[in-house]
Amino acid sequence: MLEFLINNDSNLFVGAGVAVAAVMAVKYMNARADAAQQRAYEAAKARQEALKAEREKPIKRRFFTPEELLPFNGEDGQPIYIAVLDEVYDVSRKRDFYGPGEGYHLFAGRDASRALAKMSFEQEDLDSEDLSDLSFMDKETLQDWVTKFSVYNSYPNVGRVLRRRDLTLEQLKPFNGVDNPRKIVYVAVNGNIYDVTLDGMNHYGPDGGYKQFAGRDCSRSLACMSFVDEYLDNPTVDGLTEQQQETLNKWEEKFQEKYPVVGKGVVFARSQRKPPLNSILIMGNAVGTPPSGPSALFSSGRRGSATDATSSRRHFTVEQLAAFNGDDSKQPIYISVKSDVYDVSASRNEYGPSGRFAALAGRDITKAVATNGLDDEKELASLDLSNLTPEQFQTLDEWLDKFQSDEHKYANVGRLVDSNLHLTPEDLLPFNGADNPRKMILVGVNGVLYDVTLNGSEFYGLDGMYGQFAGRDASRALACMSLEAETLDDPTLDQITPEQRKTLDDWIKRFEGKYAVVGKLSAARRK
């Protein structure tokens, strides 16, 4: 019995010891967890305070010319700046959206107003500063972006865009802080235009004491220290007294010290006769802008593209291509392979009227090459490649490699389009730039088929921003400005609003102006 008790006591002591150890271990682990949690909390609090301090730190705002803004695109460790309506915001903390390689990086380092208003990634919209043709919905969208940047995200405003302007006095008038969408305020003094938007809004803005001078040449008004309309309507400095000229000089010195000059003006002739307004040309010469001007920035091609050769290429229908068959010695000789049109005029002895390949000139020879039927009129007349075998495609690719070799270097002058297509949405699917042998990219909009291969592959190709639209009816997606799959799966327009209809009409105009119409998109087949 005693032995039993001794054993039980021993087991009891061991159990108690284990329990105590477990409790201590749990307390220790909880203490460590609490300490880790406290450290994480303190670190997060410190980060928030640092971010708050960074936001509250005074920012010395400045002007940026479009050229000076370009390097602020997040590359090479640079901050990321985006301008909206000429207000420049530091969006660096959203690098996962606007940084290199991210979806919205193409907005970085530029004024993206037009592109954001139209929800467009088209290079022409990214490069353009024109807001004059924005629709009501475009303007509403743009204001939403302004609110998003300035209020919801509270991105630091680091300055404004400074632009070169060539303006007459009549053209100067809208730049009064009200009558232009960017709310720019210009004041002209003694032949120079000054941008006073950044540092002079309190004086020359809509509520300022000198608001009458906004968008005007105020030379005579400043010289005479008068706000009367006749001095603003006729700002000639002829006939000023010595004292008035000295007053004007002092005002000019103040402007030169405080505001950037964005234009040079042709001073009034020394005559009391008022010249026509349109003859008073104010020559733009923005601070920091190269002599060639900002319009020369991308003249060598679209940013991100290797060349601007696309702009000189064109579309050919089968009938148009047939005219380039060498019969007219003054005309070049073209042939098409996989719908790419090549100028083979350098080999006129081969493809000309007396050459051994004369039958190929002015034709699409894709199927004939694949089937070794260069003498077969039926094969030369057919654009259909659906029945080619893998071996025949291999033959075609091998021939094309030789055709494109350095030995020939034939210039690619355009694309062949089939202008009489009738496709259902199901038939359209393979025309996405990948799943058809000619690598065609077709987009359906409001019942019309557009071939965007030549001018739109960078946008609608596999890696393009609108790649989802390739081989699809994009009508509803464009109307709703949506990349959601549901708008592509159900492209019907029955329920769109008048505003969405207007948006779609704007897109249709753009497609009609840029891409080739190649046929009709019919309704889906019934299952």
**pLDDT (tens digit per residue) in 59-74:** 789 999 999 999 999 9
The answer to whether residues 374 and 472 belong to one domain is no
Q: Which of the listed residues 161, 179, 205 is the one where a domain comes to its end? A: 161
Do 259 and 316 share a domain, yes or no? Answer: no
Choice among 214-228, 287-301, 495-509 with the minimum mean pLDDT: 287-301
**Could you tell me the end-to-end alpha-carbon distance of the chain, in angstroms, rounded to an integer?**
89
Tokens 């303007």 correspond to what residue? 139
Last residue of a domain, one of 134, 161, 188: 161
Alpha carbon separation from 464 to 433, 453, 468, 486 (Å, rounded): 11, 12, 8, 19
> Is 0.85 topped by the overall pTM?
no
User: What pLDDT is attached to residue 467?
Assistant: 87
Q: What is the CATH number of the domain that holds 461?
A: 3.10.120.10
Q: List the 157-161 sheet strands across, edge first.
A: 62-64, 157-161, 87-90, 81-84, 110-111
Percent of the chain at pLDDT > 90 equals 49
**Single-letter amino acid, residue 258:** K
Of the candidate ranges 159-163, 334-338, 503-507, the one whose mean pLDDT is the lowest: 503-507
Quickly list H helices, 345-466: 348-351, 366-370, 377-381, 390-403, 425-428, 453-460
One-letter amino acid of 305: S
Q: For residue 57, what are the CA distances in angstroms to 64, 88, 322, 384, 416?
A: 21, 17, 69, 67, 59
- Average pLDDT (49-58) is 63
234 and 283 in one domain? yes
Per-residue pLDDT at 307 exceeds 60: no
CA atoms within 13 A on the CB side of 505: 11
313: tokens are 């290429």
Please give the residue range of the domain that contains residue 353.
310-412
For residues 115 and 10, the model is more confident at 115
When pLDDT is cut at 50, 70 and 90, the band that residue 167 belongs to is: confident
Show which of 379, 412, 445 is a domain's final residue: 412
Quick one: pLDDT band at residue 3, thresholds 50, 70, 90? low
Q: Are strands 516-521 and 421-423 parallel, antiparallel or unpaired?
A: parallel
What pLDDT score was predicted for residue 458?
76
At 426 the pLDDT is 95
Average pLDDT over every residue of 189-195: 94
Nearest-angstrom CA–CA distance, 214 and 211: 5
Does residue 337 belong to any structural domain of this protein?
yes
Q: Are both 137 and 193 inside the same structural domain? A: no
From the list 507, 506, 428, 416, the residue with the least C-alpha distance to 453 is 416
The Cβ of residue 36 has, within 10 Å, a number of other Cβ atoms equal to: 10
Give domain status of residue 211, yes or no. Answer: yes
Read off the pLDDT of residues 77-86 as tens digits, 9 standing for 90 and up: 999 999 999 9
CA distance 428 to 451: 11
pLDDT digits (tens, 9 = 90+) for 207-246: 887 899 999 999 998 888 777 788 888 888 888 888 889 8
Same domain, 172 and 272: yes
| 267 vs 193: CA distance, rounded Å | 12
Q: Are 521 and 447 in contact (CB under 8 A)?
A: yes
**337 and 402 part of one domain:** yes
Strand ranges in 268-333 using DSSP code E only, listed in sequence order: 281-284, 314-316
Q: For 81-110, b where at least 16 C-beta lie within 10 A, e where not — what string?
A: bbbbbbbbbbbbbeeeebbeeeebbbbbbb
pLDDT of 35 > 50? The answer is yes
Question: What phi-psi label fits residue 490: left (phi over 0), alpha (psi between -120 and 50 degrees) or beta?
Answer: beta
Query: Per mean pLDDT, which range of 30-34, 316-320, 477-481 is the poorest?
Result: 30-34
Residue 472 near residue 444, CB atoms below 8 Å = yes
* Residues 426-451: tens digit of each pLDDT: 999 999 999 999 999 999 999 999 99
Question: 156 and 183 in one domain?
Answer: no
